[in-house]
Structure formats: C-alpha cells, structure tokens
Amino acid sequence: MTLHVELLMPDRSLWSGEAGLVIAKTLEGDIGVQTGHSPVFGILSPGSLVRIREVPGDDNPGDVVRAAVRDGFLSVADNRVSILASMGQLATDIDLAAARTDLTLFGEGPSRVLVAVEVNHAREFEGLMAESAIPWRWIGTTGGDRLVIRIGTDAVVDVDAGRLEHAWRSGFERHMA
C-alpha cells in the first residue's frame, strides 16, 4: 500500500503521485507520514523543505521529490497527503533569481550548517558527504579583502572585509552603558 501525495500551489499542481514516505517541517516540529498514519492537519514551517520518498521495496529508495515551500498546510487522511503551499519550487527547478534571496542566503534551520573546508581537503569532504548521503552544496570560497555574494552574475552583497570587521568589533560597544 502507498500514499497518494499532492503538492499544490494556489495556481497549479507542483507534483502528484505515489510515495512511501513524506517528510515535512511543521510549526509543531518535523513529521514523517507513512501509510496508515492517523489523520492530521499541520501548518508548514516557513521556508522549509518537503521530501517525498520512494515506495518501499523499490530498487532506488531515495527522494523522489524535494520541494522548497514558503509556507502552507499539510493534511493527512486515508493514505492521502495534501500539501498546499503559498509558494513552492521543486528542487530540480529552483531558480535563485526567483527565490527569496534572504531565505536562500541567511535562512536558518535545524538541518542547515555552514562548514569551512580547507582546499586540500575538498575532495575528501565531497567523498564523505556522498558516502553518508548527506545533501550539500558549495556556496563559495573565503579569503581576500571583500565579501562578495553572487546570484548568477549579479553581486547581491559586495562589502569591504575591514568594514565588516569594524562593525563586528564595535557593534555592541556603542549600545553598552
């Protein structure tokens, strides 16, 4: 037996199909739904990821679908999972130019960490992530005298590192009595 899953936005369907497991983050916490799950209604956590997993017993038990959702609702009843998101994008279709830049760059969550890896250990790190099946991506390099963050070819942040250091070192002092 499988779940019938629908991932919907107000103006269109993002994905519909059969699955063995749905994982989502609600305001009450993470929820995993398999067949036979009791009825539930939840509010999706803003800026979270919905994962839809393969039907058990398939040769490829990984994620079928990953979707970033801005916010919305999750409903479970009679082996049907309906996810209504105000805005969402499938992981295979994410366009950073269309996504919320502030969430992409600075959004936090219990499953997101920033890791610094020395250049001479990059291949080792990539192998460890692949071996552990941990989703990850390079977001940039460090060093130099400027912080530059780009989306495509557009620089969305371009600041002198000395200015950032000064703000960091003196930011609280002026507010302390």
pTM above 0.85, yes or no: no
* 138 within a domain of the structure (yes/no): no
Q: What is the C-alpha to C-alpha distance for residues 54 and 75, in angstroms, rounded to an integer?
A: 19
Q: Tokens for 40?
A: 């539930």
Q: Tokens for 140?
A: 């940039």
* 110 within a domain of the structure (yes/no): no
Let me know if 67 is exposed, middle or buried by CB neighbors in 10 A (0-12, 13-18, 19+).
buried
The pLDDT score that the predictor gives to residue 31 is: 94
The pLDDT score that the predictor gives to residue 82 is: 97
The pLDDT score that the predictor gives to residue 96 is: 53
Looking at the structure, tell me whether residues 90 and 154 fall in a common domain.
no
Q: What is the mean pLDDT of each run of 10 residues along the chain (177 residues)?
A: 92 91 91 94 89 70 77 94 89 58 61 76 86 75 75 78 81 64
* 103 within a domain of the structure (yes/no): no
Domain that holds residue 31: 3-95
The pLDDT score that the predictor gives to residue 61 is: 56
* 14 within a domain of the structure (yes/no): yes
User: Domains in the chain: how many in total?
Assistant: 2
* 61 within a domain of the structure (yes/no): yes
Looking at 72, 95, 118, which one is the last position of a domain?
A: 95
